[in-house]
Homo-oligomer: A and B are copies of this chain.
Amino acid sequence: MSSMAQAQDQRPRDVAGYKHGRVPRAVRYDQLLDLAEGLLVERGYAGFSIDDLCRAAGVSRPVVYEHFGSKDGIYLACVGRIRAEFEEAVLNASAGSQDLATTLERGADAFFSILERDPRRWSLVYGGANALVGPLAGQLADLRDTTVQQIAVASAPFAPHAEPERLAAWAHAVSGAGEQLGRWWLRNPQIPRERIVAYHRDFLTAAARYLIASTEAGPVPDSHG
């Protein structure tokens, strides 16, 4: 939870229930994470400064570094938490479905509902590959791969004969299509959610039919005979 970090109060303030600025480690961590998320969502990675976070929390710089190590550390923590909550919601929605199409449709519906409810928050995860190089890039990619892996796991029971690699490719394509559709929707919010979901569902339904059919029919069809 804790999705509604506002972070607009610039004056230092005490955390609920603690007299002076002094607060237990875990509590401070949560407070900082909430505030950081709010600032990041509002201003983006580049516009986010640790000094702002400190001012919002009423705390000095070393405190933040003691908890997160670096600016990238804060960013990763925020993205990781958001992604985890998102994955949980989507998986819960699609769990227990009887076929692949239903699994995908329920997952997609949950996905776009989240997007609609809290667009900017999710766009923080979306923006994703912030650093093209360096440690951050790899860690963000790891987070993304975790999500994709969940899609593969959820789909696997319905395509029991698919080789792992093909299944992975499938999951990546599904996730990529969904993300891009989501990005497009964020820039064109006048489109009602039902239509977006329908486009997505139709697209995936066709693709799903392919996944199952091709793996029943035989091994990898390859491109040069």
Contact = CB atoms under 8 A, between A and B. Distances in A.
B197 A223 contact: yes
A194 B168 contact: no
Contact of A166 (B137, B199, B209): B199
Interface residues of A, number: 66
A95 interface: no
Contacts of A20: none
11 contacts: A46-B130, A47-B134, A129-B183, A168-B184, A172-B184, A174-B177, A176-B183, A177-B180, A179-B180, A198-B220, A201-B223
A137 to B, nearest CB: 7
Given A45-B131, A198-B223, A206-B206, 13 more contacts: A44-B133, A46-B130, A123-B132, A126-B132, A141-B183, A165-B191, A169-B184, A172-B180, A173-B177, A176-B176, A177-B177, A197-B223, A198-B222
A214 B187 CA distance: 25
Interface string A189-219: 0010011111111110111011000100000
Contact of A198 (B174, B209, B221): B221
Contacts of A166: 199
Nearest to A214: B202
A165 B198 CA distance: 12
